Structure 1
Amino acid sequence: MKPFTTNMSSFDEQRELEGRFGTLLSISDQSLVTLASSVRRRLSGGGLTNGQVISRLNGSYNLVHIVEFDDGVRYVVRVPATGWGSRFTEIAKRSLVSQALTLRWIRKETAVPVPDVYAFDISNTNEIGAPYILMSFINGHTVSSKWFDRTGPTALEERRLRTLDTLAQAISLLQKFQFDKIGSLEFDNGTVGNSIRIGPCYRWDEGIFGDEDYGKDLRVEEFGPFESSKSYLRHCVSHYWDPRKRSPLALGSRMILDMMISCLPLSTKDVSTNQESFVLSLPDFDSQNIMIDERGNITGIIDWDNVHAVPRFLGYFSFPGWITRDWDPIVYNYPVNKEREDSPEELKRYRRRYNSKMQEILHGNGDSRFVSKSHIFEAVAIAATDDVRRLEIVRKIVGRVFQAEDDDALELIRDAGSGRLKLKDRIKVRTGLQALLSVSS
């Protein structure tokens, strides 16, 4: 879960929280305990157990409340930011149902350590007056809190490597699932059974970054489903394109991004066919959503908001986000912050380790061919869905294709956007992208 933070004063932060979560901030401790106790009695058939709210967390898109009973058992009550006012739409409700049932299905069909969904409600006529998902508590620490922490029973490097190895083992269990479309999972009669359909994808919509009203009318939006990986990514590019940006660099980065998408490999498990199929992956595969123990063993994988089937090259086997940061220049802060960033050489080493482990797990077959370049596929997908980070990612990839300095890569992008890119150079760009993004059978 991404924490909701700002650089504002405490007064402004409170106003921002109220604008995002509104009446949900007034959910009382007593109502949360009443809800959790009711669910526990129903599940266990036991008597009354006392409880209390021991923590309230503000995420970007959810309020998270932890209820602890007097015997030490903890429940998590997760309330979406779209659960109040005009944001509380039918689309928002369908998205919550899909998430809750998909989590139940993953837990039923695999040993992936996801939370156990005990109950959920898409109405506001319940004990807390808001929609929620109530689930089991995952013990442990986030990877984000431990990746740079040198304390504990094991050496830092040993813990890091164990984290990567056990994460690869856990997330690879999603390999048993494949689908014929890109989209969310829908279950007949609202129960987890054998009949699954692919419905639309869901995403958070906060408006255009930089606008005065950005984030003030947060909604869940639906789009798709899609039958091809390229149509999915091209839709994303179009949706996250700010039409007011008409500079040569903006136009050039989009032009080259379109070329990248056309050069991506087909989303097929079998290289002998052109029929695409799709897989699941953690929607936000980053360090704040992976839980570990003191030695680095994975204890849980959390935050499956808007989970849906994705192209294979963006699938379950991909590198976790904290070892791909060097391919997203806007967020990568090395060497300025060496205390909280790994060097490019370290990140490459961790990717080699993760790739090696995933190749071992997948026996070098099928989806294994995507792993070694999954950080590049991820970068293309980020550029497709983030208008702010797009230019720098495109510059990074162009620089890699031509072994060019940043300024030279930027000049090539500017030439593309101003119509000055010669045909021979356009062909050279495409040929270079094809080589970079190709995968062997």
Structure 2
Amino acid sequence: MAGLLSTWKSIAELDLTSKKGSRINSILSQADFGYLARQAVHARRAEDGTKLPPDLVATFSCTRFMSGHNNFVLEVTFSDNVIWLARIHMGMEEQTVEDVVSEITTMRLVKKRTTIPVPKIYAFDATVNNPFGYQYILMELLHGKRTRLGLVPSVPSIHHQKVARQIANILLELSQITFDRIGRLIALTEGGPITVIGSKYHNVVSPMATSLEYFYGDRYGENLEIYESHQDDAQWNTASWILTTGLAHLIIPDLSNGPFPLSHQDLHFGNILFDDEFNISGVIDWSSAQTAPLESLCILPDFTLYKARGARIKDVQDFKNLIVQAPEESSTGTSAYSTKARYMAAYMASDQSELNSRLQATPSRFALDTAETFVKHIYGTTISWEQLVEIYGKLPIPRALKTS
């Protein structure tokens, strides 16, 4: 169907000259797939019990695959025609045992507490020295396809309302899973107590207690890079100040101390699967998921206006408006649900949401433009950029940004 793209590629399409292609080819030739097949049968028997034939076997289709930045996926076909998936870590970036267990904890919690279509986890090994040779997860196969070029250009207009409602519902359901700290979730046993641990992508080890701490941690590395790369430049020094002090303007004050909802943190078109009628059939790749401020949950990369150009700006805005309206329509539900819905709708429709999206996605080399945009939002025409350069241009960087 137009707008949808098969997620599978032929192994023959592997570019062996690329780092990823070479790595996948190496794993296919070196990993002990016989061991993984036996583990799959063992997990299947634990899942389905005595209903299975005694001679059940599993085989791997190594003729086609799916891949992301850190993992690739193969089909596991059982002799009774049931198909699972094996997700194998490529080792392009380090993935700790904690990383794997946190993602699995999150997926199991989402599957238990929401209607969001998340793959069921059957078995995994988070260690790098297991008999298979690589970290792996055996999981449910969710049928569906990704959109070709992103949600806005790929979803036909006739389906915009339906897709918008589904995305809004995902956000609303996640907003109901809350914790009193910001960080990743981890349970040492399936169904065991869940603990919040430090975030993988922030410059803090312990869980965070406030929204401001989260957004500050998110910008720490970028602002430090700005300062250290342009120490004698008043314009850039001012930008680092503005992008630090301006963070307070991104938060919802009433929610700054929590509770904090679970957030996918990477909910873009590449991680959403659709059937041929554009019903969402899967939400995948929960590797970045953690509890976060509600403001972060509301950031949707496919609907950031600053990335759009020309006529596409209106298309993005119209689609985003449909998503904003869905929580507003849900605000007549239970007290807790309706309160979250109102906050989400208001924030997604605000300038703060767009600034937040821009801040999180913009590399430090564009910091001057981003900082000037912040100044216009915070001060309007009352204070000019030039006046702020006079104030901040020669001031030392805020103490908290220093490395010592």
Structure 1, unmatched stretches of 5+, are 4-8, 205-220, 336-341, 421-441
Whether 1:160 and 2:168 are equivalent positions in the alignment is no
Match of 2:174 in 1: 174
Matched, 1:94 2:98: yes
Q: Determine the C-alpha separation between the residues in 2 that align with 1:292 and 1:416.
A: 52
Q: 1:372 to 1:64 in 2, by over 3 A?
A: same
| 1:279-294 paired onto structure 2 within 5 Å | 279-294=261-276
Structure 1 residues 181 and 149: alpha-carbon distance in aligned structure 2, compared to 1, 3 A threshold: closer
How far apart are residue 82 of structure 1 and its match? 4.2
In structure 2, the partner of 1:135 is: 139
* Structure 2 residue aligned with 1:365: 339
Which residue of 2 is the match for residue 320 of structure 1? 300
2:228 corresponds, among 226, 230, 244, to 244
Alpha carbons of 1:76 and 1:192: their partners in 2 closer, same or farther (altered >3 Å)?
same
Alignment pair present for 1:394 and 2:371: yes
Name the counterpart of 1:217.
none
Secondary structure of 1:358 counterpart: helix
Alignment check: 8 A CA contact 1:250 1:417 kept: no
Letter in 2 for 1:365: T
- 1:58 matched to 2:64: no
Query: For residues 74 and 415 of structure 1, what CA distance do their matches in structure 2 show?
Result: 65
SS at match of 1:244: helix
Amino acid at match of 1:51: T
Q: Is the 8 A contact 1:252 1:413 kept in 2?
A: yes
How far 1:391 sits from its partner (Å)? 3.9
Hey, what's the Cα distance between the residues in 2 that align with 1:190 and 1:371? 36
Q: How does 1:372-387 map to 2 (within 5 A)?
A: 372-373=349-350, 374-383=353-362, 386-387=363-364
Structure 1 133/52 Cα, relative in aligned 2: closer, same or farther at 3 Å? closer
Provide closer, same or farther for how the CA distance between residues 144 and 36 of structure 1 changes in structure 2, counting only shifts above 3 A: farther
Shift of 1:236: 2.6
Q: Secondary structure at the match of 1:79?
A: strand
- Please state if 1:233 is matched with 2:219: no
Aligned partner (choices 64, 74, 77) of residue 83 of structure 2: 74
- 1:265 pairs with one of 221, 243, 251: 251
Q: Tell me the SS of whatever aligns to 2:117.
A: coil
User: Could you report, residue by residue, the CA deviation over 1:30-71 in whole angstroms, capped at 9, with x for unpaired residues?
Assistant: 555444333223322323144332532332122222333455
Query: Secondary structure of 1:295's partner?
Result: coil
Measured after TM superposition, the shift of residue 147 of structure 1 is 3.9
User: Does the Cα contact within 8 Å between 1:35 and 1:127 map onto a contact in 2?
Assistant: no
Q: Specify the SS of the correspondent of 2:109.
A: helix
Mapped to 2, the partners of 1:309 and 1:233 lie a distance apart of: 13
What CA RMSD, in Å, does the superposition of the two structures yield over aligned residues? 3.6
**Residue in structure 2 matched with residue 209 of structure 1 by the alignment:** none
- Asked if structure 2 preserves the Cα contact closer than 8 Å seen for 1:37 and 1:49, the reply is yes
The change in CA–CA distance for 1:415 and 1:115 in structure 2 (over 3 A counts) is farther
| 2:358 partner amino acid | A
The AA in structure 1 aligned to 2:300 is P
- The verdict on how the C-alpha distance between 1:32 and 1:380 changes in structure 2, with shifts beyond 3 A counting, is same
CA distance in 2, matches of 1:186, 1:229: 21
Whether the 8 Å CA contact 1:65–1:77 is kept in 2: the answer is yes
How far apart are residue 322 of structure 1 and its match?
A: 0.8
Q: Residues 77-132 of structure 1: CA distance to partner in whole angstroms, max 9, x if unpaired?
A: 22334499xx46xxx11121111112111111222211111112122454522222
Matches of 2:367 and 2:262, distance apart in 1: 24
Within 2, Cα distance between the matches of 1:410 and 1:288?
Answer: 38
Cα 1:239–1:224 change in 2 (3 A) is: farther
- TM-aligned CA deviation for residue 276 of structure 1: 3.0
Work out which of the residue numbers 296, 303, 306 in structure 1 matches 2:288.
306
Structure 2 counterpart of 1:425? none
Work out whether residues 112 and 171 of structure 1, in 8 Å CA contact, stay in contact via their aligned partners in 2.
no
Q: How many residues align?
A: 363
Alpha-carbon contact 1:182-1:224 (below 8 Å) kept = no
- Deviations 1:122-171, CA, capped at 9 Å, x for gaps: 22454522222221111111134574777xxxx81012332222221233
Aligned to 2:4: none
Distance 2:324 2:250 in 1: 19
Counterpart Cα distance in 2 of 1:121 and 1:81: 14
Question: Does the Cα contact within 8 Å between 2:299 and 2:356 map onto a contact in 1?
Answer: no
**Residue 345 in 1 paired to residue 319 in 2?**
no
2:40 pairs, out of 36, 40, 43, with 36
Q: Amino acid of the residue matched to residue 67 of structure 2?
A: N
Contact kept, 8 Å, 1:83 with 1:130, in 2: the verdict is no
1:284 Cα offset (Å) = 0.5
**1:267·1:313 contact (CA, 8 Å) conserved in 2?**
no
Instruction: Give the SS at the match of 1:128.
Output: coil
Q: TM-score, normalised by structure 1?
A: 0.71
Matched, 1:13 2:18: yes
Q: For structure 2, which runs of at least 5 residues remain unmatched after alignment?
A: 1-6, 9-13, 333-337, 396-404
Paired residue type of 1:172: L
Aligned-residue offset at 1:267: 5.8
Quote the residue 2:324 is aligned against.
355
